[in-house]
Amino acid sequence: MIFSPFRYAMTFVLVALGAVFVITLLIMAAGINISSAAVQLIPAIAAAMIEGQRHAKSGAELPSKGQIWRAAFAMTGMAMGLFLFWSGLQFMQMPADIRDTAVPAILVASAVFLPVYLFANWWFYKVGFQSGQNRAAR
């Protein structure tokens, strides 16, 4: 396998928690709110890049397009599972009257994030691999 599912999931979770921490600090300290849907992509981007770098560090050749796509599909499945878990935790904390509108919003967000996560995982795995090769060549 060209990536570690456990390392990908741990990186995703830690980066997501770090993003929440940084956003909360910015809101409390400076009154700046940078939270948006784009912030949801940061964990997938970071995790895919790290997986690509780690694979390159092992001295392996660039995987074939098919291998990268299979890895991207697997990483996307993990990212969507974590996204839905996180959304479910937030859903349980909502007042009952808001929950009726939250379910369609979560479904729409999932439909939007699925192809975006897939492309981000595919693209940034390759970027991470090339970065890892460049670093190893130095």
Summarised one tens digit per residue, pLDDT across range 66-121 is 999 999 999 999 999 998 898 888 888 888 888 888 888 888 989 998 999 999 99
Cα dihedral value 104, 106, 107, 109, nearest 10: 120
Task: Tell me the residue length of the chain.
Answer: 138
What is the three-class DSSP state of 39?
Answer: helix
**Residues 67/60, Cβ–Cβ less than 8 Å:** no
Model pTM score: 0.88
| Closest to 113 in 3D by CA, of 50, 46, 67, 44 | 44
- The per-residue pLDDT of the chain, averaged, comes to 91
Cα of 105 vs its chain's centroid, Å: 19
**Residues 24/32, Cβ–Cβ less than 8 Å:** no
Tokens matching residue 72: 């991207």
Share of the chain above pLDDT 70, in %: 100
> CA–CA distance from 119 to each of 27, 65, 90, 101 (Å)?
30, 13, 26, 28
